[in-house]
A and B are shown apart, each in its own frame.
Chain A
Amino acid sequence: MLHSFAALAVTPQLDTGTTAWLLISAALVLLMAPGLAFFYGGMVRSTSVLNMMMMVFGALAVVTVVWVLVGYSIAFGDDLGLGLVGDPTQYLGFAGMLADDPAAAYPVTIFAIFQGLFAVITVALIAGAIADRTKFGTWLLFAGLWTVLVYAPVAHWIFDFSAGDHVGGWMANSLMAKDFAGGTAVEINSGAAGLAVALVLGKRIGFGRDPMRPHNLTLTMIGAGLLWFGWFGFNAGSALAANNLAAIVFVNTLLAGCTGLLAWLLVEKLRDGHATSFGAASGVVAGLVAITPACGFVTPIGAMLVGITAGAICSLAIGLKYKLGYDDSLDVVGVHLVGGLVGTIIIGLLASKAVTDVDGLFYGGGVDQLGRQLVAAGATFAFSFIATALLAIALEKTIGFRVHEDDEASGVDLVLHAETAYDLHASTGGARPHVGHGSGTLLP
């Protein structure tokens, strides 16, 4: 009797704690999308805040649908041969994944949609590079195509581990680069893509000359807060269990956000004389970006160093667009590409066997892991930049990607969505009909 109980205990079976944590984690990652909409929405001018939010919400809708149809299969289906892409037909529409598997710790559908929400946030991040000047319809088409052509293959490379009969991607299994929650697939990928589309679309009218101040930094602060909250699902959920590692990752995620904030503010204080709210919001995100790949490999002290490094380097990197002359409007390159590179590479320095199975250079592990991290970062950047540029050029040459300059000057909210975000004049914004500037008549 005792023997059979022991046998039961070692048989894998549904773990309700882990399943519950993954359901919550997926919901937390979903919350990052509206969080990003607020974060970005506050940064743009008041004439394009709704469009910015719509690009994020639109990406959420399109990418989720595409992911369930074919994206998941490309990312996590059996490898087609070289570790580059999974079988796109294997899990079409989540086929064959719905039956209850009593031997699995959690249902595969929750893993699949958790990963799908990673794709959502990655695509949505790119929108920040092309604020104020993008055709909404083309953006939705881009979001769907980019998920299939760029995100899903890179996710296959780094997130799809070989197990049993299943063969996964080259970075995770042959190269053995480490990426806990998306330094390559999410951060470097979105940053490189943002740079590519920003270059294809060109600068906003008046970039570098007209003030393009953020119109509402309180929205940006709210967005940063929601992103931080959601990031716990993103990172600690990537432990794929409610266990000790998830707890360490949770602590690391918190610490890197804190030190990222402090480091960014310190750079600002020294450079500009003021510690700003915009700097605080940006510093949190920079720290979180960088800890994303590293959170499951570094100690809490390591996480603090990751946050400090990213906060300082990203706050300096965002000035690059003025020096080099590309209009990455909301600093997707400066924060996500640079932060993702910092986090991915720093694993090679700060990884510790006190947390998982690998030591970085500073913990006596030599330069092997550092080399692997550099290859993964470089390959992701090169593939994402080139593939995204080709896709964006194809869309620009066919259906057009950038709005007409008159529409850009009028503000894309009004032109693309027939809405304006704010009516702050009580005398012209009331419910009753009125005349004069800003007047409107309710159409039947």
Chain B
Amino acid sequence: MKLVTAVIKPHKWEDVRAALETIGITGMTVSEVSGYGRQKGHTEVYRGAEYDITLVPKIRVEVLLDEGDAESVIETIVNAAQTGKIGDGKVWVSPVESVVRVRTGDRDQAAI
């Protein structure tokens, strides 16, 4: 099993959700996060005083998958989240040792 984690631009979240639904992904965990990449943050000006805002708001999407689905999910997320401008985000895949569905106690593939 795999965990696909994507950090994307907030306004792309709805596109990513819809795209994942079309390929049959039924569940995911979504959180509002903040961070920065190579481009750093941005500058805001209040009464002439400039503030460097290092942390940029992002959406983190996490999807638990069968091993074989990982590539198509990555591709779907990248296609849906891409704007071509700086700060589009990252997608990565991590191995998952075990999954349990809390309601039934089902394990691993049956729990996804």
* Interface status of B47 (Cβ within 8 A of chain A): yes
Closest chain B CB from A252 CB (angstroms): 25
* Interface status of A3 (Cβ within 8 A of chain B): no
Q: Mark A276-297, 1 if CB is under 8 A from B, else 0.
A: 1011001000000000000000
Query: Which residues in A have their C-beta under 8 angstroms from that of B45?
Result: 268, 272, 274, 276
Instruction: Name the contact of B48 in the complex, choosing from A211, A213, A214, A272 (C-beta under 8 A).
Output: A272
Interface size of B by CB at 8 A reads 10
Q: Is the CB of B48 within 8 A of A315?
A: yes
Query: Which residues in B have their C-beta under 8 angstroms from that of A362?
Result: none
Instruction: Name the contact of B51 in the complex, choosing from A213, A282, A319 (C-beta under 8 A).
Output: A213
Q: Mark B38-57, 1 if CB is under 8 A from A, else 0.
A: 00000011111111110000
Q: Is the CB of A322 within 8 A of B47?
A: no
Query: Which residues in A have their C-beta under 8 angstroms from that of B49?
Result: 319, 322
Q: Whole-angstrom distance between the alpha carbons of A214 and B45 in the complex?
A: 11
Q: Whole-angstrom distance between the alpha carbons of A140 and B49 in the complex?
A: 31
Q: Whole-angstrom distance between the alpha carbons of A272 and B44 in the complex?
A: 10
Closest chain B CB from A417 CB (angstroms): 26
Query: Which residues in B have their C-beta under 8 angstroms from that of A315?
Result: 47-48
Residue from B44, B49, B50, B52 whose CB has the most chain A CB atoms within 10 Å: B49
Q: Is the CB of B47 within 8 A of A282?
A: yes
Query: Which residues in A have their C-beta under 8 angstroms from that of B47?
Result: 278-279, 282, 315, 318, 331
26 sample A-B contacts, Cβ–Cβ < 8 Å, listed by A number:
A211-B51, A211-B53, A213-B44, A213-B46, A214-B46, A268-B45, A268-B48, A271-B48, A272-B45, A272-B48, A272-B50, A274-B45, A276-B45, A276-B46, A278-B46, A278-B47, A279-B47, A282-B47, A315-B47, A315-B48, A318-B47, A318-B48, A319-B48, A319-B49, A322-B49, A331-B47
Mark A residues whose CB is within 8 Å of B: 211, 213-214, 268, 271-272, 274, 276, 278-279, 282, 315, 318-319, 322, 331
Mark B residues whose CB is within 8 Å of A: 44-53
